A and B are shown apart, each in its own frame.
Chain A
Amino acid sequence: MTEEKELLIISPDNEFERESVPESHTKGLRSFVGMYAGEHAAGTEFAIGPLFLVHGVSAANLMLGLFLGNLMAVLSWMFLTAPIATRVRQTLYFQLERIAGVKLVKLYNIANGLMFCFLAGAMVSVSATAVGIPFNMKMPQLNDTMPNSIGWVIAVLVIGFVISIVAAKGYNTVSRFANIASPWMVLVFLACGIAAMPELGINSLSEFWPAARDVIWRGVPVEGQSQFTFWHVFFFAWFCNMAMHIGMSDLSIFRYAKKSWHAISTGAGMYIGHFMAWISASMLYAIQLQADPLNTTVAPGPMAVQIAGLTGAICVIIAGWTTANPTIYRSGLAFQSLIPKCSRVTATLFAGGLATLAGLFPALAMKLLDFVALYGLVLMPMGAVILIDFWVLPKLGMKSFFAEAAKISFHWGAGAAWILTLILCLVINKKFGLEIFFLAVPGWFLAAIIYIVGSMIIQKQRTA
């Protein structure tokens, strides 16, 4: 995520936190294109691309799944998030407080803060794979869940410590650095993809597809791993940023947009980061497997170095660091909101410590696809609540922003929509075996129905 975007959301100097953004402060399409273009070339892309290969995605399924899934993500931003954002022009947190009450927003903050910690932990892990190269560190293996060596523990602790201190003390400096690194990072991803081609036997464009089909994405999973289909890729690409679009987190961004269609700018991020970068990273992993089929570890550092040398290692470190920085900072702010007496520096260091602890466990990076899907799923129900509250409740003769109107601090209808949905999703997963990548589909409708029913009851009680 770009720091520019993060600053827009979370900077202590941020304006309009509890009011609508005035028309005079709205921004044009170009501001959002640049922001999103850099946003999705993050450290985690280095790990996500290879994991598609690990799960045996075929070339056709990957290309089509990514193309259509990313298209659905862009459409979700355009038709779900931005229309509300440009009408209300308030942050996610303020809208949620008006809908669900201040206490529920605090709970949401805990969930959000924890999820951000784990995400930052994955980024620390990614950076550690590059830092460990000069020390010949033993890389964690695909099935490793626990730290596999003292070297790994030291690398993660050192990186986590540095990132946490910087996030707490020098957030803005890293933010500015991340903006400068952003175009360079995008091109390093592209460079890796282009340079990987001859190594995979692609010497002309006409040779790309046969090699893609028969050499790179052969549709055979690594032993012991589940088989991914078109639907896995499609839903993963659509839902991996679900917290931002369907979950409505980016209300905080698009409240600044002049027009709701400006959300088309997210396409720049999707097709650079979640198409080109994932494919490039996937190709790097294919080279690794080609050299040694038994070397199935997803270690972005060595993968990037084999094709891009020192530039690749620097890119992995910077991509991990610059994305972990705002994530830890944001997580710290979420925790701080729960204990206002705690200083921002202390809260950020606490979040950084938690992220570092999470990063010690390679399972987080090796199971990143599952974690990213879980992250979106956990925050999704509140997005459904916001959408229903804005569009549907008035049509059913009910009031929007009822917590504000009735002065309640915990709207149990919204709380039930969140918690019950997650419990029901768990039941669907365990009883019917529906994988985590698909749970958001029934989950969204469950959250919507529970919130409508809950609102009917609570609004009837309060107005009786």
Chain B
Amino acid sequence: MMKKILMPISIIGLLLLVIGPVLFAAGKVDLPMNKNILLVGTILWFATAPFWMEHSKN
């Protein structure tokens, strides 16, 4: 159950790591915003992935 909730959040975190730079490269956001998006993606990933990734391995 927990995996079903946390895994999509982790994936969103990873997606943000790509979306931020792509938006920056397309001129849709500025560099500070790109850095903020990357940080949000990082926080989402590390706040959620350890729970379901470890769980999966077990």
Min Cβ gap A351→B in Å is: 28
Secondary structure class of chain B's binding surface, majority of residues: helix
Q: Tell me whether A203 is interfacial, beta carbon within 8 Å.
A: yes
- Closest-by-CB residue of A relative to B19 is A191
Q: Bound state CA distance, A197 and B26, in angstroms? A: 10
A151-200 contacts to B (CB < 8 Å): 176-177, 179-181, 183-184, 187-188, 190-195, 197-199
Q: Tell me whether A420 is interfacial, beta carbon within 8 Å.
A: no
Which of A180, A191, A310 is close to B21, meaning CB atoms less than 8 Å apart?
Answer: A191
Which of B14, B20, B31, B32 is close to A184, meaning CB atoms less than 8 Å apart?
Answer: B14
Check B46–A197 contact: CB distance below 8 A: no
Q: Tell me whether B39 is interfacial, beta carbon within 8 Å.
A: yes
Check A194–B35 contact: CB distance below 8 A: no
Check A191–B14 contact: CB distance below 8 A: no
Size band of the interface chain A makes with B: 20 to 34
Check B24–A198 contact: CB distance below 8 A: yes
B22-45 contacts to A (CB < 8 Å): 22, 24-25, 27, 31-32, 34-36, 38-39, 41-42, 45
- Closest-by-CB residue of B relative to A183 is B14
A185-227 contacts to B (CB < 8 Å): 187-188, 190-195, 197-199, 202-203
Q: A180-B49, A180-B53, A308-B38 are in contact. Are A198 and B14 (CB under 8 A)?
A: no
Check B39–A310 contact: CB distance below 8 A: yes
Check A179–B35 contact: CB distance below 8 A: no
- Closest-by-CB residue of A relative to B11 is A183
Residues of B within 8 A of A179 (CB): 53
Q: Bound state CA distance, A13 and B45, in angstroms? A: 30
Min Cβ gap B2→A in Å is: 16
Check A191–B39 contact: CB distance below 8 A: no
Residues of A within 8 A of B38 (CB): 188, 191, 308-309, 311-312
Min Cβ gap A180→B in Å is: 5
Q: Bound state CA distance, A192 and B31, in angstroms? A: 11
Residues of A within 8 A of B32 (CB): 309
Q: Bound state CA distance, A171 and B20, in angstroms? A: 34
Q: Bound state CA distance, A67 and B25, in angstroms? A: 25
Check A198–B27 contact: CB distance below 8 A: yes
Q: Tell me whether A424 is interfacial, beta carbon within 8 Å.
A: no
Q: Tell me whether B50 is interfacial, beta carbon within 8 Å.
A: yes
Check B50–A187 contact: CB distance below 8 A: no
Residues of B within 8 A of A310 (CB): 35, 39, 42
Q: A176-B54, A179-B53, A198-B24 are in contact. Are A187 and B46 (CB under 8 A)?
A: no
Min Cβ gap A200→B in Å is: 11
Q: Bound state CA distance, A383 and B2, in angstroms? A: 47
Can you name 17 A-B residue pairings with CB atoms under 8 Å?
A: A187-B17, A188-B17, A190-B17, A190-B21, A191-B18, A191-B38, A195-B24, A197-B25, A309-B32, A309-B35, A309-B36, A309-B38, A310-B39, A310-B42, A311-B38, A311-B39, A314-B42
Residues of A within 8 A of B34 (CB): 195, 308-309
Residues of A within 8 A of B39 (CB): 309-311
Q: Bound state CA distance, A184 and B41, in angstroms? A: 9
Q: Tell me whether A307 is interfacial, beta carbon within 8 Å.
A: yes
Min Cβ gap A384→B in Å is: 38
